[in-house]
Amino acid sequence: MPRSHPRRRRTLVVTGIALAFAAAFSGPAAADSTPVGPLPAGPTTTVNAKRGTLVAVVLRSRKPSTGLVWRLARPYDSKVVQQVSEGEIGDTVVIVYRVVGTGRATLAYALTRGESSPTAVAAHTYRVRAT
pLDDT by 10s per residue, the chain, length 131: 444 444 443 444 454 444 444 444 434 444 566 789 999 999 999 999 999 999 999 999 998 899 999 999 999 999 999 999 999 999 999 999 999 999 999 999 999 998 889 999 999 999 999 99
User: Cα separation of 33 and 114, whole Å?
Assistant: 9
| CB-based burial, 76-86: b 16+ in 10 Å, e otherwise | bbeebbbbbbb
Hey, how many other C-beta atoms are within 10 angstroms of the C-beta on 41?
8
Q: Which of 32, 26, 128, 17 is closest to 85 using CA atoms?
A: 26
Specify the DSSP class assigned to residue 109: E
pTM: predicted TM-score of the whole model, two decimal places = 0.74
